[in-house]
Amino acid sequence: MASRSLNRVIIIGNLTRDPELKYTPNGTAVCTFGVATNRTWTTADGQQKEDVQYHRIVAWQKLAELCGKLLNKGKKVFLEGRLTYRTFVGRDGQERNITEIVLDDFIVFSDGKRVSPTETPEKREEEKPTTENTTSIEELTSSKESTKLEKKGKKTEEKAAQEKEEDNETVNPEDIPF
């Protein structure tokens, strides 16, 4: 059997700082931010204990731009990605190791406010809560990507219609394996 491996991290936590969006010299977007996760337990003698872990998150390309627009300090998020380890030499000449989570996907938990990618974090804080608490896919994607989604939806509808026609065909009871 072929050897397979898996490097997958799933975290739900709060942002410890606002995302920092930068661009590489060749124009690729990269966004870094921190997330804290908490764990609470009770000891044998009844004491409540809490442990906090801090995670460094890195997002690239379109995902980085979305993080820069939608996330801000204190926001609760679901993150999915992979673990990476890097070594670098600091300004003081010392070799340092760093552990990061390279982001593949994220979900922002709603706080009752409508999230718009064109708003700044300051503008979001001034907003009053509304009953709408989701961001539409059209707001998050460019018109080109929306067109792709519409085409994909039409193909899916056509495929469903074709499968329905196939289901209406008669089945020979002798073809059933049980």
Per-residue pLDDT tens digits of the chain, which is 178 residues long: 577 899 999 999 999 999 999 999 999 999 999 999 999 999 999 999 999 999 999 999 999 999 999 999 999 999 999 999 999 898 999 999 999 999 999 999 876 555 545 455 555 455 444 334 444 444 444 444 544 455 555 555 666 655 555 555 555 556 555 4
Judge if 26 and 98 occupy the same domain: yes
Judge if 145 and 71 occupy the same domain: no
- Separation between Cα atoms, residue 111 and residue 2, nearest integer Å: 45
The per-residue DSSP string of the chain comes to --------EEEEEEESS--EEEE-TTS-EEEEEEEEEEEEEE-TTS-EEEEEEEEEEEEEHHHHHHHHHH--TT-EEEEEEEEEEEEEE-TTS-EEEEEEEEEEEEEEPP-SS---TTS-HHHHHHSPP-S-----HHHHS-HHHHHHHHHHHHHHHHHHHHHHHHHTS---GGGS--
Domain residues for 104?
Answer: 9-135
pLDDT at 152: 53
Domain count, the chain: 2
Judge if 44 and 123 occupy the same domain: yes
Judge if 96 and 146 occupy the same domain: no
Location of structure tokens 């410890």: 16
Q: How far is CA 124 from the centre of its chain?
A: 20
Judge if 109 and 162 occupy the same domain: no
- Separation between Cα atoms, residue 30 and residue 108, nearest integer Å: 19
In a domain, 174, yes or no: no
Judge if 113 and 160 occupy the same domain: no
